[in-house]
Amino acid sequence: MRKLTEVEDAKALMTEAMGWSVVKWLSEKKRVRKTADLANATLDRLDQEIKAHWNDELKAAYSELGGKSDGAGGQQHKQSSQGIDSQVALLAKRVKDADDEAHRVRMDAEDTFDEAEKQLSTRLAREGCRKAIDSWDRHEQAIRKSEAVIGATKG
Q: What is the mean pLDDT of residues 59-77?
A: 68
pLDDT band at 26 (very low <50, low <70, confident <90, very high): confident
* Stretch among 18-22, 79-83, 84-88, 93-97 having the lowest mean pLDDT: 79-83
pLDDT 10s digits, 35-52: 999 999 999 999 999 999
Are 21 and 122 within 8 A, CB to CB?
A: yes
Confidence of residue 70 (pLDDT cuts 50, 70, 90): low
Residues in contact with 79: Cβ distance below 8 Å, sequence separation at least 6, in sequence order: 56, 57, 60
Average pLDDT of every residue of the chain? 89
Burial of 143 (0-12, 13-18, 19+ CB in 10 A): buried
Give the tens place of pLDDT for each residue, 81-90: 567 888 999 9
Start-to-end C-alpha separation, the chain: 22
